[in-house]
Amino acid sequence: MFEKRDHAIIVAELSGNHNGSLDRAIELMELAHECGADAIKIQTYTEDSLTIDSDRDEFMLKDGLWAGQSYYELYKKAKTPREWMKPLFSHAKAHGILLFSSPFSFADVDCLEEAGCPAYKIASYELNDLGLIDYCASFGKPMVMSTGLALEEEIDRAVEVVKKRGVTDLTILHCESRYPAVAEKFNLKAIPYLKEKYGCNSGLSNHALGDELDIAAIALGADMIEKHFTDDRKKGGVDSAFSMDTDDLRKLVKDSKMVTSAMGRAGIYLHEDEYSARAGRRSIYLVKDIKKGDVLTASHVKSIRPALGLEPYRLDSVLGKKALCDLNAPVPLKAEDFS
C-alpha cells in the first residue's frame, strides 16, 4: 500500500482538529483528499487508552501548547472516538480515500479491525510499547512507525518485532518531537540512514509549519511526509497551531512532486533535448589566415563559441603542425587539415 511511488506519499494527519465533531472530521478528510493528500491519518483512542484520571503532579502538563491541563483532560478533548471508526472508514472507502490510524491500545486495534483499517501507525511515544507493536503487526498489514524521542536500540527492537511478524510494507518516520518542531533540531540525515539500516521506506513526521523541511527530506530520499492538517488554523483545535491548512497542503503536494521529478537518477547524463544545445559550446577557430606548409601557432587560433571546430582540449595535438592547405579565417579548425 505504501510501496514506492513516483513521488513522496503525503499523509494529512487530522488528529484532534475535528473539535469533537464527526461531521467536521469527515469534512476535513474530504478536504485533505481534494487538496492532493495521498492518505489521511487519524488517531484512535479513548482517554483511558493513554493515561489515568489523576491530578497528581506527574499527570499535569506544565508548559507548551497544552499547559495547565491534565493528560486525561487533553486526551478526552482530543480523541477521535471509537464509535466514529466505522462511519469514517466506510466514508473513506466509498470516496476512494486512503484512511489509516494510530491505535493506542489492544481495544483500539480491535475496533479498527472491525472498521476495516488497512494499515497501522505507531506513534512516537508508543515506540517502546512492543506489545502494542506486536499486536498491530500480527494482522500483517502495512505499518508506519515514528521514531521521535527514541534511542537507536529502541528502534532496533521495534523493527525486529514487526519483521518477525512478516510485515514487509514498513515505513519508518524520523520525527522531531517538539510541538511545534524546531528546525535546527531535525537531523534530517537520519532519513537515508533509517532507510539503509532497516531496508525499508523512510520519511518524516513533521510538526513544523512551512514545507521547506519536507522538501529537504524528500531530496534526501523520504518516501513519506506526514503533517497535521486543518482547514483553517483560526478555527482552533488541539493541534491547529502546528497544522498545515489547505493552501499549505496544496503547496506541499505541488512542491513534493516537483522536487521528486527533479531528483533524476545517480550519475551524469544528458537528456535527449540537450544534445542539440551542445553546438553552442566553445571550440577552436582559426582567426588568422594560414598558408599550406605554415606551422600552426597559438596566434592563429582562439577558443570561442560555437562548437563547430576542434574541441579546446585537443588544441595541443595540432599546435606546431603544418597546414595541409590554405585556410582563410575565420573558419572552424579541423585536425585533419594539419600534419
124-151, pLDDT tens digit by residue?
A: 999 999 999 999 999 999 999 999 999 9
Question: So what's the pLDDT on residue 67?
Answer: 83
CATH node for 272-337? 3.90.1210.10
Question: What are the extents of the domains in the chain?
Answer: 9-45+80-263, 272-337
Q: How far is CA 137 from the centre of its chain?
A: 24
Is residue 249 within 8 A of residue 35, CB to CB? The reply is yes
Q: 36-68 in b/e burial notation, b at 16+ Cβ within 10 A?
A: bbbbbbbbbbbbebbbeeeeeeeeeeeeeebee
| DSSP labels, 249-307 | HHHHHHHHHHHHHHH--SS----GGGTGGGGGS-EEEE-S-B-TTPBP-GGGEEEESSS
User: What parts of the chain have a pLDDT lower than 50?
Assistant: none
CA-based torsion, 325, 328, 329, 331: positive or negative:
negative
| pTM as predicted | 0.88
Question: So what's the pLDDT on residue 4?
Answer: 64
What's the fold here for domain 9-45+80-263?
TIM Barrel (3.20.20)
What count of other Cβ atoms lies within 10 Å of the Cβ of residue 105?
Answer: 18
- Give burial (CB, 10 Å; 0-12/13-18/19+) of 276: exposed
